[in-house]
Amino acid sequence: MALVMTQPEQRSAGGHTSEPLLSVAAVARRLGVAPATLRTWDRRYGLGPTGHTMGRHRKYGPPDVARLELMQRALLRGASSAEAARFALDSKSSMTHGVVPVAPSGGRGLKMPGASRLARGLGRAAVAMDSIAVQEMLADSLASDGVIATWNEVVRPVLTAVAARWQLSGTGVEVEHLLNECVLAAFVRATPLVTLGRNHRPVLLACMPEERHNLPLYPLAAELAQRGVVVRQLGAALPMDALAVAVRRTAPSAVVLWAQLPRYADPGVISALPRTRQQVRVFVGGPGWRRGVVTAPAERVEDLAAAVDAVEAAVT
């Protein structure tokens, strides 16, 4: 039996060949929805292929697919189907002029009682593995509400919900990894390069030895940098000897040590920090330190806002 391959249908205008048209099944695969969903969107909201005539198979051109992608993006951000359809249709003129519209936010997502609409929308986008939507929402929140509010009111509720889902079902590791990467990238972009800081000596930010949960250090670095404080990020699971070398070489004005888990909140690390000629303020933060012993001269900071204020006051 011979296998016959068919090429995608193409529209031509003025003798020029345009991009290929896609079938309902092809568009459904691209968007990750059922073909019946596309037919419903066409019937209810008019989001079907332009130029479709009765008796012919539906074929979607690039503008049609772009509108459907806008609809899907709005749904991921929590809009109802009707709101998402209006958004996609109203955005037609914006797309033709190269303007990327902003989808409505809020709505359904992970189980996050009391969370903001933006946090719920971020959760839906993360579960859908839509890194573009996640990045857009984080960028919008950082621009409008700042680092601390974005971390506390948008990011943390989603991280907590994703972790709870994993604890209950053992699923969602890929969601957590995607979300972590997007959050890290967003806060790095929000961290200005401070060349002439208000502090004469840098602030060192590091995780405790073997502690690999370093994500909270990035909003801390971003907010301090936005306030004109020079920081040095040393990352996750910094060995004790490397931390000691970093303290000797940089003569920091302050050191912040993060522990997410109690087993890494070792007071011996504080005692083992090398002495320098100039005073070094030591702060410890993270859930791991909440019930542990914090030995002098270290000071415990309870949350992001408290850590920023304490470090800023200590070094400026």
Which CATH number belongs to the domain containing residue 170 in this structure?
1.10.1240.10
Last residue of a domain, one of 164, 189, 214: 189
291: which 2 tokens?
């019930």
- Polymer length in residues for the chain: 316
Residue 257 lies in a domain: yes
Shared domain check, 307 and 219: yes
- With DSSP H G I counted as helix, E B as strand and the rest as coil, what are the percentages for the chain, rounded to 5? 50, 10, 40
Please, what sign has the CA dihedral across residues 194, 197, 201, 206?
negative
Would residue 266 count as lying in a domain?
A: yes
How far is Cα 164 from Cα 62, in angstroms, rounded to an integer?
Answer: 40
Give the other-Cβ count within 10 Å of 99's Cβ: 10
Instruction: Please report, for the domain that includes residue 25, its CATH number.
Output: 1.10.1660.10
The answer as to whether 106 is a domain residue is no
What residue numbers bound the domain in which 45 lies? 17-96
One domain, residues 279 and 209:
yes
Shared domain for 209 and 183, answered yes or no, is no
Residues 59 and 92 in one domain: yes
Report yes or no: 154 and 118 within 8 Å, Cβ to Cβ.
yes
Say if CB 199 and CB 314 are below 8 A apart.
no
Is 111 part of any domain? no
* pTM for this entry: 0.70
Indicate the number of domains in the chain: 3
Per-residue pLDDT of the chain (316 residues; tens, 9 = 90+): 444 444 445 544 444 445 678 888 888 888 777 888 888 888 888 888 886 555 567 788 888 888 888 888 777 766 778 888 888 888 754 444 444 454 444 334 478 888 888 898 899 889 888 898 899 999 999 999 999 999 999 999 999 999 988 877 888 899 999 999 999 999 999 999 999 999 999 999 999 999 999 999 999 999 999 999 999 999 999 999 999 999 999 999 999 999 999 999 999 999 999 988 899 999 999 999 988 788 888 999 999 999 999 999 999 9
Q: What is the pLDDT of residue 5?
A: 42
pLDDT of residue 309: 97
The answer to whether residues 311 and 208 belong to one domain is yes
Residues 162 and 210 both lie in one domain? no
